[in-house]
Amino acid sequence: MPELLILIALLVVVAGTAAFVVTTRRRRGPELEPPPERGIAPTTEVPDTVPPELVEEVEAEAATEAPPTLGAPPRLRDRLGKARSALGGYLGGILGRSGIDEETWEDLEEALLRADVGVATTTTMLDHLRERVAAEGITEPADLLVALKEELVAQVGAYDTSMRLEADEGRVPVWLIVGVNGAGKTTTIGKLSARQAAEGRSVLVAAGDTFRAAAAEQLETWAERTGADYVRGAEGGDPSSVIFDGIQRAKSRSHDLVLADTAGRLHSKVNLMEELSKVRRVADREPGQVVETLLVIDATTGQNGLAQAKQFAEAAEVTGVVLTKLDGSARGGIVVSIQAELGIPVKLAGVGETVEDLIDFDATEFVEALFADD
């Protein structure tokens, strides 16, 4: 009976499609699931005969129920309060003079050091600026500041700040997040996870900080909030295994990206840097591939952050820095010295504690924000 066969075939196709839809929805996590009572999208639900006022109502309601999107990121200059005031006073003094003299150079040096640019980088930059002033015949303090801005932008902007998302065929891209305790690793993972979800990627976060159970719980909360898949291990467990488990799960569920948290300190006597090297090796093993190793540095730790960066860069092949707490009492100049001395680009800046408070680092915007006088 051909009719019966066709009917059976149709039923199989319909059931298959329904099962596929159900599983894909599950994978997106509970937060992104549409409310159960509505079922289908409101635009298809509205019959042609519904009066226009009602259509508007339905659509307006639907808009508020849409999957979570991220608001616009804050502007750096609105958050960089302390960093600006560190420079501000000195720059005012320099501009107030009728020409460029030794005192001007001393003030500039003091301003850069106070802004946390660091001795080595400040010296190099000012030497270069002096040459330029001589060569270009700059005599006005205002022109000197313009030249200084240009030097800073050139120094800070000489790096590729893009984030890699592609891995080799069949491998899962991993972003490994490293840094000392309290720097803002877990918070940054939450922000990154939200951003990736908003861009349409499915993310798995792996709780590689097994030092405290609370750390895994904090990450779990972020995962739930941002609709990410999540893997954790036992407290005091092996961080490499947790991350490797996460990668395998991400592979089997076809996630687009693994964000791996790590500890800033350890239970065992194993050296933190040795442990991180191991974590990186394991995470880079098939099916995983570490495409970014992001070092999170608390900008308020000033030049101390530079010392940390040196250590981590040796252990974990750091590809970029996330500079957090630029909204706090940070003075910002650490950006310049990290890049100048280590050649590692600052790729992202944390400017607050909420999910939106992460911005792509941009050299021109940063320097303009530092010098802004409103």
Ligand X SMILES: Nc1nc2c(ncn2[C@@H]2O[C@H](COP(=O)(O)OP(=O)(O)O)[C@@H](O)[C@H]2O)c(=O)[nH]1
Residues near Mg ion (CB under 5 A): 185-186, 209, 215
**Smallest separation, CB 45 to Mg ion (Å):** 43
Chain residue at closest Cβ approach to Mg ion: 186
Regarding 324 and contact with ligand X (CB under 6 A), the answer is yes
Strands (E), the chain: 172-178, 203-208, 229-231, 257-262, 288-298, 320-324, 346-350, 358-360
Nearer to Mg ion, 186 or 301 (CB): 186
**Smallest separation, CB 26 to ligand X (Å):** 28
How many angstroms separate the CA atoms of 327 and 331, rounded? Answer: 9
Tokens of residue 187, six digits:
């918070």
Residue 182 is which amino acid?
Answer: G
Judged by CB under 6 A, the chain residues 253 through 312 that form the site for ligand X are 264, 296
Tokens 């490499």 belong to 240
Q: Among ligand X, Mg ion, none, what does residue 353 contact (CB within 5–8 Å per kind)?
A: ligand X
Tokens 């997106």 belong to 28
Q: Among ligand X, Mg ion, none, what does residue 239 contact (CB within 5–8 Å per kind)?
A: none
Tokens of residue 361, six digits:
């680092």
Helix (H) or strand (E) holding 138: none
**Smallest separation, CB 218 to ligand X (Å):** 6
**Smallest separation, CB 211 to ligand X (Å):** 9
Binding residue for ligand X, selected from 73, 88, 182, 302, defined by CB under 6 A: 182
Binding residue for ligand X, selected from 83, 100, 176, 185, defined by CB under 6 A: 185
Regarding 332 and contact with ligand X (CB under 6 A), the answer is no
Judged by CB under 6 A, the chain residues 37 through 76 that form the site for ligand X are none
Q: In what order do the strands lie in the sheet with 172-178?
A: 229-231, 203-208, 257-262, 172-178, 288-298, 320-324, 346-350, 358-360
Regarding 328 and contact with ligand X (CB under 6 A), the answer is yes
Nearer to ligand X, 125 or 216 (CB): 216
3-state secondary structure of 115: coil
Binding window for ligand X (CB under 6 A); candidates: 97-105, 151-159, 176-184, 309-317: 176-184
Cβ atoms of residues 346 and 309 within 8 Å: no
